[in-house]
Amino acid sequence: MFFTKFFTDKIKEFLPELIAAVVVFIVGRFLIKLLLKAIDKALEKKNSDKTVRRFIQSSCRVIMLIFLTVICLSIIGVPMTSIIAALSAAGLAIGLALKDSLSNVAGGFIILFTKPLKYGDYVKINNEEGIVEGITILYTILRTFDKKVVYIPNGVAIKSSIVNMSKDKCRYMIQCFQISYEDDFHKAIQIIKGVLMNLDYVVKEPDAPRVAGNAHNTNSFEIIVKYWVPVDKYLFAKSDLLEQITDAFRVNGITIPVNQVDLNVPKGITVSSR
């Protein structure tokens, strides 16, 4: 009975502080959401890059949640000196255990301030290609064209080569086409130039498309095509030009060769069709 009464009395003494801490935590979470929205609107009015806004929101959310947790612990009677000591010890332990995560945080700040990429850019990082959807405190997020979401640790991103295909408005395309040696390669070159000039997405100025002979292959004469296209047409252009030129070759009687093998059979040897 003594122990039951003792614990009952302690719970009654502790209950008001516990309820107050829970209420403060719930209200605090609500206020944090409002503050994050206000921060985002303020950054949006200043025309801040969307990548910067998301990174700042991610960092502010973590900081405010830690601050709210400290307030709640102090309400239930945990001494502030104990909280600070616990946070210091936890910070040291977490820092040693999660050194890779800390490098990701540092990597996020480096990406944010050096700006090798931004929201909406088409990039290649660590052999992953996609459109940048955001940079959080730990990850750079890419969405690939087959709708996969790739989370690349910021520490890995800054240690890898970052290929940004969206820095310039246009990209340089190089394609090769094969024709038969029996066909007139001058005519084939003119056909390709005509196709290029009729395509709206091919940049005509200041650098006009270039078409020229490139190599003598075993069974074909190779023609190389070099041209500029807008970044947003890059993936479409290669396949579309291939189709357009293939159709133009067929209409104009230009042969697209296939590999051929000449088989010489010595006299006296019969070759079966089976």
Q: What is the CATH number of the domain that holds 194?
A: 3.30.70.100
Structure confidence at residue 81 as a pLDDT band (50, 70, 90)? low
Q: Nearest-CA neighbor of 65 among 163, 151, 137?
A: 137
Could you read off the pLDDT of 225-264 as tens digits, one per residue? Answer: 999 998 878 878 889 999 999 999 999 999 888 776 666 7
Using a cut of 0.75, tell me whether the model's pTM lies above it. no
CA-closest candidate to residue 68, choices 94, 13, 97, 29: 29
Residue 263 lies in a domain: no
CATH code of the domain in which 115 resides: 2.30.30.60
Q: Are residues 133 and 205 in the same domain?
A: no
Q: Per-residue pLDDT tens for 13-58?
A: 667 777 777 888 888 888 888 888 887 777 777 666 666 677 777 7
Structure tokens at 176: 């090769």
Question: Domain check: are 238 and 197 in the same one?
Answer: yes
Q: Given this model, what pLDDT does residue 97 score?
A: 47
Say if 20 falls within a structural domain. Answer: yes
80 and 8 within one domain: yes
> Can you give the pLDDT at residue 188?
92
Cα 21 to Cα 12, 78, 207: the distances in Å are 15, 11, 68
Q: Kindly state whether residues 177 and 247 are assigned to the same domain.
A: yes
Q: Residue 114 is part of which domain span?
A: 110-164
* Structural domains in the chain (count): 3
Q: Put the strands of the sheet holding 139-143 in their side by side order.
A: 149-153, 139-143, 128-135, 122-125, 162-164
